[in-house]
Amino acid sequence: MKIALINENSQAAKNEIIYKSLKKVADSHGFEVFNYGMYSAEDENQLTYVQNGILACVLLNSGACDYVITGCGTGEGAMLACNSFPGVICGHVTDPLDAYTFAQINDGNAISINFALKSGWGAELNFEYIFEKLFSEESGQGYPRERAVPEQRNKKILDEVKKVTYVQDVPAILKNLDRELVKGALSGAHFLEYFDANAKDEGIKAAVHEILGK
């Protein structure tokens, strides 16, 4: 599994501690982690939580990653932004129980964490425990297990609903959004390095390079 980490400007200073907690858990499963930043509050390229959603959409729909870990101060804004796009099902996660139940019941491909809250002593442990429970079992098995059949049925229904309600394809979405907003979302220090190495969708790749002029 390829996991992308995305931080926005208000929580950029926490990128390193989040990355280390995520990589520790990912390594134990043989997963890869790609840190798309922001790497510090002083980064030249400043991401808003709206741009987190754009970046998550591009990475997931292109196949550049399989899962997105993101967030903001409360986690709400980044979650809403992610769920504004096709191909993204993002849960709001504050603790390990949220992570486990979202993975098992909702079977999504992104989580948004409230990085400004509970951020004192033990913050790194909370992140680590969240990631441990998020990836502790195969996603989508249901919780409690006797609820697995209706929960899996509802997930399939949601997938079909999103296909109807999100009618534009990703290249069209990127081209119809404010160009500077999208360009800013895709201008991180290592974005093209990681994206070009992993993205599979040629249409999205072409749209990204056209927007960036590279």
Locate 11 and state its tokens. Answer: 């929580």
- 150-179 b/e (C-beta count within 10 Å ≥ 16 → b): ebeeebeeeeeeeeeebeeebbebbeeeee
Q: Which fold has domain 2-212?
A: Ribose 5-phosphate Isomerase B; Chain: A, (3.40.1400)
Across the chain, mean pLDDT equals 96
Q: How far apart are CA 101 and CA 207, in angstroms?
A: 35
Q: Taking CA 186 as the corner, what is the angle to CA 9 and CA 203, rounded to the nearest 5 degrees?
A: 150
Answer yes or no: is pLDDT of 157 > 90.
yes
* Residue 129 pLDDT exceeds 90: yes
Residue 152 has pLDDT above 90, yes or no: yes
Indicate whether 122 pLDDT > 90.
no
As a whole-number percent, the residues of the chain with pLDDT over 70 amount to 100
pLDDT value, residue 66: 98
Q: What are phi and psi of 113, to 5 degrees?
A: -105, 145
- The C-alpha atoms of residue 65 and residue 34 are separated, in whole angstroms, by 8
Model confidence at 120: pLDDT above 90: no
Label the pairing between strands 67-72 and 2-5.
parallel
Res 168: pLDDT: 86
Over range 61-88, report the average pLDDT. Answer: 98
Arithmetic mean of pLDDT, 194-211? 98
More confident site: 118 or 44 = 44
Secondary structure of residue 3 in the 3-state scheme: strand
pLDDT in tens, 175-189: 999 999 999 999 999
pLDDT beyond 90 at 93 = yes
